[in-house]
Amino acid sequence: MSAIVAPEWHLEGILDHQREPVANILSSAERCFQRYGYSETTTRLIAQEAGVSKSLL
């Protein structure tokens, strides 16, 4: 499976101190997609993997 990479333009409007949490969430989503597949991955699983609340997503 190929890696999911956020395009640079997607992160342009994000302040430097916000990039790390966003990158963490994207990496967590990628791991969940690899582990469970797209159809079985939920926002709850991604939030749990990222160590954040579901409402933060």
Residue 5: per-residue pLDDT: 62
* Conformational region of residue 3, where left means phi above 0, alpha means psi within -120 to 50, and beta covers everything else: beta
| Token pair recorded at residue 36 | 């469970």
Distance (Å, whole) CA 14 – CA 37: 28
Is 80 exceeded by the pLDDT of residue 56?
yes
42 occurs within a structural domain: yes
Q: What is the residue whose two structure tokens read 């926002």? A: 43
Which contiguous run of DSSP H or E holds residue 31? helix 16-36
Is 80 exceeded by the pLDDT of residue 3?
no
Q: What CATH number should be reported for the domain holding residue 23?
A: 1.10.10.60
Residue 9: per-residue pLDDT: 52
1 occurs within a structural domain: no
Distance (Å, whole) CA 1 – CA 8: 21
Q: pLDDT, tens digit, for every residue of 11-52? A: 566 556 666 888 899 999 999 999 999 999 999 999 999 999
Distance (Å, whole) CA 30 – CA 15: 22
25 occurs within a structural domain: yes
